[in-house]
Amino acid sequence: MTRLSNEGTQVTLRWNDGTSSCFHAIWLRDNCRCSHCGEPSTGRRTLRLSQIDLSVTLTDARLVQSGSGECIRVAWSDGHQGEFGTVWLKEHAYDARSRRMKSFHPALWTNGLRENPPSMPFEEVMTADSAFFDLLNIIKNHGLCLVDGASASPGTAEKLARRIGFLQTSNYGKVMDLIADKRHRSMANDADPLKPHTDEPYRASPPGILLFHCVEAGEDGVGTSTFLDGFEAAETLKREDPEGFSALTRNNQTFRRFFDGDVDLICEFPVISTDQFGNVCGVRVNDRVAAPTCIDPGQITDYYRGMKRFLQLSEDPDRMIRKILEPGDIAIFDNHRILHGRTRLKFRGRRWLQWVQVERGDFYSTLRILSDKLERNKDARPLLRGAYGSQTLNQ
């Protein structure tokens, strides 16, 4: 049975497994779930923090049994009373051990995964919720899933993307056509290989979940698409060169995309983003649009050494999945984790890919809603916040 001690400013609960968690009086008051205060876990609340005395204390706290199970009943110095289930409290505990346990650790790529990349059939994903749930979990855990058997008709990727979430719009529109045509001379027909990279790191919020759909492929075949796990590369750098890795998480890299009279985008973010416990949660890798770095002079040596090695790892052929996209093939991946590129183009005729994107928050929302619908285990943690900087805990 859970044990409780009340110190006035906080209560400490000792769990059956021997661990313990403390809950401050102000935290409990702010999160009161009674009918008067509302339900903060779902975003429905009437109580406002501006109404609460920050020095509020607990005048009483005791363990009781209710119809919903074990709970603690508390009274505050402002005269309010509330009740919290111990299961709910343990789920929302915020001590260091509990916070570490809530950190999401996706599976890094292995040689086995590279040899047999995860894939799903298009028809099942579009018609069966269970298959669609499997697809979302593959992307959540591995960052990439290949979908086969789709129609080669334009708009097919858009239909699948709308099943995942709302389409994001960029300066290319909601659907971007990547067309290489040997009958015309243009930048789109550049046959040179593209190094693995993440798209649009010069945006404060880069594209989230990307879908590449092959509509047409030239008669003689096309360049091979390549995919690489940026998290695996980052973790390798962390093992090989901790100082270089740290320099890439603590310092911002400037990225810029400029077309005269059309767009001028600049932002600064770390190349590798980590959570408060140092776990990699996002990458921005695209040295084609890297602008001059502006960091502490004392960091330059470590930064450039780490950056060069990270780029070498991201260009390592042995770490890549190679896939020749045939008409109807769709590749779905998390742009905050997976790097993509292609080998040199060799084809006759036209190569046509359609590119659409879905915001990562909508992706996770759909995954949680589907978990409820299918009565599967729902992960309510904020998952992989992405390439938005670092919150490394110094301890």
Other CB atoms within a 10 A radius of the CB of residue 45 amount to: 16
**Domain final residue pick, 99, 124, 148:** 99
Chain Cα centroid distance, residue 383: 6
DSSP element (H, E) containing 61: strand 58-66
Residue 42 inside a domain? The answer is: yes
For residues 119 and 147, the answer to whether their CB atoms sit within 8 Å is yes
In this prediction, residue 392 carries a pLDDT of 54
Does 127 share its domain with 27? no
pLDDT-based confidence at residue 344 (cuts at 50, 70, 90)? confident
Q: Take residue 121 and report the two structure tokens written for it.
A: 């059939």
Q: How many CB atoms lie within 10 A of CB 48?
A: 10
Torsion of CA 344, 217, 143, 393, to 10 degrees: 40
Instruction: Kindly indicate the confidence band of residue 393, based on its pLDDT and cuts at 50, 70 and 90.
Output: very low
The C-alpha angle 42, 43, 45, rounded to 5 degrees, equals: 110
| Mean pLDDT of the 368-388 span | 82
The pLDDT, as a whole number, for residue 32 is: 93
Segment 282-297, tens digit of pLDDT: 999 999 999 999 999 9
Percent of the chain with pLDDT over 70: 92
- What CATH number is attached to the domain comprising 33? 3.30.2020.30
Residue 380 has pLDDT above 90, yes or no: no
Residue 11 has pLDDT above 90, yes or no: yes
SS3 for 122?
Answer: helix
- Residue written as tokens 């805990």? 393
User: Which residue is associated with the tokens 């992405």?
Assistant: 386
pLDDT recorded at residue 220 = 59
Helix axes 242-250, 230-240, angle to 10 degrees: 130
Looking at the structure, do residues 232 and 263 belong to the same domain, yes or no?
yes
Which range of residues forms the domain containing residue 45?
3-99
Does pLDDT of 223 surpass 80?
A: no
Residue 173 and residue 206 in one domain: yes
**pLDDT reported for residue 221:** 52
If residue 240 lies in a helix (H) or strand (E), which one and from where to where?
helix 230-240
291-332 confidence digits (pLDDT tens): 999 999 999 999 999 999 999 999 999 999 999 899 999 999
Q: How far apart are CA 121 and CA 139, in angstroms?
A: 14
Residue 41 has pLDDT above 90, yes or no: no
Contact status, residue 337 vs residue 229, Cβ threshold 8 Å? yes
Judge if 290 and 214 occupy the same domain.
yes
The number of folded domains in the chain is 2
- Determine the average pLDDT of the residues in 78-94: 94
Q: Are 72 and 141 in a shared domain?
A: no
pLDDT of 134: 96
Please state whether beta strands 58-66 and 69-76 pair in parallel, antiparallel, or not at all (unpaired).
antiparallel
Same structural domain, 68 and 120: no
| Of 98, 193, 180, 135, residue with least CA distance to 367 | 135
Evaluate if residue 336 carries a pLDDT over 50: yes
Q: Measured between alpha carbons, how far is 141 from 274 in angstroms, rounded to an integer?
A: 17
Residue 318 lies in a domain: yes
End-to-end CA distance of the chain: 33
> What does the pLDDT read at residue 185?
47
Mean pLDDT over residues 38-51, rounded? 82
pLDDT at residue 330 in the model? 97
The predicted-structure confidence for 178-217, as pLDDT tens digits, reads as follows: 877 555 444 445 667 889 999 999 999 999 999 999 998 8
* 318 lies in the same domain as 208: yes
Same domain for 89 and 129? no
Contact 223, 213 (CB under 8 A): no
With respect to residue 174, please indicate whether it lies within any of the assigned structural domains.
Answer: yes
Average the pLDDT over 124-144 and give the result.
96
Lowest mean pLDDT among 16-20, 59-63, 190-194, 276-280: 190-194
Q: Is 161 a domain residue?
A: yes
Domain boundary among 99, 124, 149: 99
User: CA 122, CA 184: separation in Å to the nearest integer?
Assistant: 33
Tell me the per-residue pLDDT of 227-273, one tens digit each, with 9 for 90 and over: 999 999 999 999 999 999 999 999 999 999 887 777 789 999 999 99
Answer yes or no: is pLDDT of 72 > 50: yes
What stretches of 152-252 adopt beta strand conformation (E)?
176-181, 194-197, 209-216, 225-229
- pLDDT value, residue 394: 41
pLDDT of residue 332: 98
Mean pLDDT score of the chain? 90
Q: Are residues 205 and 321 in the same domain?
A: yes
pTM given for the model: 0.90
Name the one residue in this structure whose structure tokens are 């998290």.
231
Model confidence band, residue 33 (pLDDT cutoffs 50, 70, 90): confident
CATH of the domain at 358: 3.60.130.10
Query: What is the rounded CA–CA span in Å between residue 392 and residue 278?
Result: 5
Residues 288 and 357 in one domain: yes
Place of tokens 């060169």: 241
pLDDT mean over 106-126? 97
